[in-house]
Structure 1
Amino acid sequence: MASIGSLTGIATTKEMPTTRRGLRTREALVKAARVVFERDGFLNARLVDITAEATCSIGTFYTYFEGKEEVFAAVIEAARHDMLHPGMPHVPEDEGPAAVIEASNRAYLVAYKRNAKLMKLMQQVAMIDPRFEEVRARSARAFGERNARRIKELQDRGLADPTVDPELAARALSLMVSRLAFECFALEEGPRDLEEIVAVCTRLWVNGLNLSA
């Protein structure tokens, strides 16, 4: 099984634990690290505070992570997975593509809102460590690629404008939603009413793709 560092691009010599106890301990350290990072920021966070939050020793920490950067990468990966797979509810096919887009936007925005502090911190860390900028870029590409496949499926079904490049449209629309989420939830600038944001994002998706009902 790949280590978290290999998933985020942050090099590590540590392997994922293979026992349930090891997995629980590592998960506890990641959860504790998130609490400390969100509370104190990346630069001020100390390993002693993370281990105290997780009620374990420094020695135990080094069993799973090389240092602060590596555990931060693990925290980011957990948040990235949460937002990429937020658990969207099933939408009946007869409700049409707009309903699916609305449900998808809502699920993403709810997940972004609960990770907003971390997303703000991630941007700050990326400015001083280019490895984390690549992590951010990789995550954006994952969202864009997934949405491009969805747009192509709608085009193949005759429901979306076939003249729109699906990859470029996906990048534009995905970046729009993520940037709006960042400003509303992480920076707390502009409206923060979830349903209002969902409605605007969905309308722009529908209009941008010229969707048929």
Structure 2
Amino acid sequence: MDPEPRSAKGRRTRARLVEAGKTVFERDGFLQARITDIATEANVSHGSFYHYFDSKESLFREIAEEVEVRLVSMDDIAQDLTESAGPVDRIRAANKAYLAAYRKEAKIMRVIEEVSRYDDEVRKVRSKRDDYLAARLESAIKRLQADGLADQRIDERYAATALGGMVAKFAEMMFIGGARFDMNTAVEQLTYLWANALGLVPTADQKVPAKSATA
């Protein structure tokens, strides 16, 4: 097995296998997915698969880690913000980015959710995502408290874990569990819950919009 091919051709082949694996796992689920189908989707021989991965489990774990990293990277947050953006604006942008990323990866996230229940390695990948997100949120809450904007009584570690878990669970219910919510309203309501929990006060132009019907 060659996990990190040195040649450009090898890297392209490995990338095709990762993309093909994602397609097959989304379509067939983890248990029903076959290495033969993944190899066919990637347009490589069955034997070539084992040059890059020793099992479908190792391929799935890599896919799961890539997806989890994309969920917390939120690279597109900055484009929605101006230099004058306040803390509520930043919370809104983060919630919007997370929900948008989860919606995009919903098919594979459904499979990751299922596999994490019995695969320790996939569960560790999910825990790593949760820990990274909690650490970043904890740091943000500390800054808000230092600036006198957030309730000083709040323990940032508990708040980061609880509020981050709220958004993650909401995304799972919305995009996997079948709960029908309007995207814009979901972003706004999660933002108000965040702001209220931390004791932040929205500015005058951040009024609560009229409630909309579920999509």
The TM-score with structure 1 as length reference comes to 0.88
> 1:79 deviation in Å?
0.7
For 1:201, which of 190, 194, 198 is the aligned residue? 190
Distance (whole Å) between structure 2 residues aligned to residue 112 and residue 21 of structure 1: 31
Distance (whole Å) between structure 1 residues aligned to residue 105 and residue 164 of structure 2: 17
Task: Give the letter for the 2:195 counterpart.
Answer: V
| 2:179 paired residue number | 189
| 1:61 paired residue number | 49
For 1:108, which of 83, 98, 115 is the aligned residue? 98
- Choose 1 or 2 for highest CA Rg: 2
**Does 1:211 pair with 2:200?**
yes
Any conservation in 1 of the 2:106–2:175 contact (CA below 8 Å)?
A: yes
| 1:42 paired residue number | 30
Which 5+ residue runs of structure 1 have no aligned equivalent? 1-12
| 1:143 paired residue number | 133
Moved more, 127-136 or 23-32: 127-136
Q: 1:48-88: CA deviations, max 9, x gaps?
A: 10011110112221111110100001111111121111322
| 2:67 paired residue number | 79
Q: Matched residue of 2:151: which SS?
A: coil
Please tell me the root mean square deviation across aligned C-alpha atoms, in Å.
1.5
Task: Give the letter for the 1:175 counterpart.
Answer: G
Aligned residues: 200
**Does 1:33 pair with 2:14?**
no
**Does 1:157 pair with 2:147?**
yes
Which 5+ residue runs of structure 2 have no aligned equivalent? 204-215
> 1:198 deviation in Å?
0.5
Distance (whole Å) between structure 2 residues aligned to residue 166 and residue 195 of structure 1: 27
Q: Matched residue of 2:160: which SS?
A: helix
> 1:153 deviation in Å?
1.4
**Does 1:17 pair with 2:5?**
yes
Q: Percent identity?
A: 38
Any conservation in 2 of the 1:33–1:72 contact (CA below 8 Å)?
A: yes
Any conservation in 1 of the 2:69–2:129 contact (CA below 8 Å)?
A: no
Distance (whole Å) between structure 2 residues aligned to residue 77 and residue 20 of structure 1: 23
Any conservation in 2 of the 1:38–1:117 contact (CA below 8 Å)?
A: yes
| 2:58 paired residue number | 70
Runs of at least 4 residues of structure 1 off by over 4 A? Answer: none
> 1:148 deviation in Å?
0.8
Any conservation in 1 of the 2:61–2:121 contact (CA below 8 Å)?
A: no
> 1:14 deviation in Å?
4.8
| 2:209 paired residue number | none
Distance (whole Å) between structure 2 residues aligned to residue 113 and residue 66 of structure 1: 30
Distance (whole Å) between structure 1 residues aligned to residue 97 and residue 131 of structure 2: 19
Task: Give the letter for the 1:151 counterpart.
Answer: I
Distance (whole Å) between structure 2 residues aligned to residue 51 and residue 154 of structure 1: 50
Distance (whole Å) between structure 1 residues aligned to residue 96 and residue 190 of structure 2: 9
Task: Give the letter for the 1:129 counterpart.
Answer: D
